[in-house]
């Protein structure tokens, strides 16, 4: 296809405009990084700069080519139809990005589970969302150190679990097995004592967050304080401690409670841990 000199000039002008806009955006980002110390605020401003630069670039390019649109209508129409078929997944990712930005099912800093991936959201881009993975081969929802890129289009066909939206606390459970001969009521009291100590640190915040969430969703307030369930197991009495903890402090809280339980059990003569045992009889 032959290109006249006017078309070539507009292509050069468009490329030059994008280069200038890109360099200006980089300069603005450097200023943002140098002047804003808060990590979340700095990230938001960087994203705004890039989005603004993209909008300005599209507007400048459209203005430069406006007078040529009449003669290019047929070519653009055919090209657009072909791209819509070939790049349907890319287009779906952009639509997914718009859905995430407008509806906000999650934001940067939230902890989510998207499909089979769990992690902390560290960036939301036009085509994909970036997560810092947790879990997998690491216990108690701690970081694996891997970066995971989730296509934004999958927001429409993959289940999304948000640990942080409205109520950043989750229920955690610790199971303890004591012998049938143990004073299980005393063991139960020990578990409750340490869980209540953990709950006191954020009890007021839990109530506040729950009231706020109940204004948005059809949720009835249940028991928010620690509780211990008692079950008769094969090898002893199983005590299941259930308590609310910060979504990011699950392992830390488990560690503190378990260390307290071990110390208290060691001081009690009538409380012993149970474990599976086998007896062999000879005839």
- Nearest Cα to 125, choosing from 158, 90, 159, 160? 90
The predicted pLDDT at position 261 comes to: 94
The predicted pLDDT at position 206 comes to: 83
CA atoms within 13 A on the CB side of 180: 7
The predicted pLDDT at position 221 comes to: 67
CATH fold of 103-162 reads: SH3 type barrels. (2.30.30)
Q: Give the whole-angstrom CA distance, residue 150 versus residue 166.
A: 23
**For the chain, where do the domains classified as CATH 2.30.30.60 start and end?**
103-162
Task: Report phi then psi at 65, rounded to 5.
Answer: -100, 5
The predicted pLDDT at position 50 comes to: 79
The predicted pLDDT at position 13 comes to: 75
Q: Give the whole-angstrom CA distance, residue 139 versus residue 134.
A: 9
Q: Which two tokens stand for residue 123?
A: 């960036």
Q: Which residues of 122-143 are buried (b: 16+ CB within 10 A; e: fewer)?
A: eebeeebbbbbbbeeeeeebee
Output the pTM of the full model. 0.66
pLDDT digits (tens, 9 = 90+) for 171-230: 899 999 999 999 999 999 999 999 998 888 888 888 888 877 777 777 776 778 899 999
Q: Can you list the residues of the chain whose pLDDT is less than 50?
A: 1, 78
Q: What is the CATH number of domain 169-267?
A: 3.30.70.100
Q: Give the whole-angstrom CA distance, residue 193 versus residue 189.
A: 6
- Nearest Cα to 109, choosing from 58, 41, 172, 46? 41
Query: Hey, is 62 helix, strand or coil?
Result: helix
């Amino acid at each position: 296809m032959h290109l006249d000199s006017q078309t070539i000039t507009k292509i050069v002008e468009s490329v030059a405009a994008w280069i200038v806009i890109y360099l200006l955006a980089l300069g603005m980002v450097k200023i943002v990084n140098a002047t804003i110390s808060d990590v979340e605020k700095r990230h938001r401003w960087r994203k705004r700069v890039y989005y603004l630069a993209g909008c300005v670039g599209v507007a400048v390019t459209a203005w430069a080519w406006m007078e040529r649109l009449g003669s290019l209508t047929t070519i653009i129409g055919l090209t657009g139809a072909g791209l819509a078929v070939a790049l349907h997944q890319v287009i779906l990712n952009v639509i997914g990005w718009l859905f995430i930005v407008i509806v906000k099912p999650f934001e940067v800093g939230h902890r989510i589970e998207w499909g089979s991936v769990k992690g902390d959201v560290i960036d939301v881009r036009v085509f994909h969302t970036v997560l810092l993975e947790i879990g997998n081969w690491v216990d108690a929802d701690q970081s694996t150190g891997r970066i995971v890129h989730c296509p934004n289009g999958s927001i429409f066909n993959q289940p999304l679990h948000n640990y942080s939206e409205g109520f950043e606390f989750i229920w955690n459970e610790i199971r303890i097995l004591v012998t049938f001969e143990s004073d299980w009521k005393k063991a139960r009291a020990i578990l409750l004592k340490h869980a209540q100590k953990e709950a006191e640190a954020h009890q007021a915040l839990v109530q506040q967050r729950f009231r706020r969430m109940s204004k948005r969703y059809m949720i009835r307030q249940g028991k928010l304080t620690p509780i211990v369930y008692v079950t008769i197991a094969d090898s002893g009495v199983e005590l299941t401690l259930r308590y609310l903890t910060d979504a990011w402090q699950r392992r830390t809280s488990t560690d503190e409670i378990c260390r307290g339980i071990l110390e208290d059990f060691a001081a009690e003569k009538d409380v012993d841990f149970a474990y599976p045992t086998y007896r062999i009889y000879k005839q």
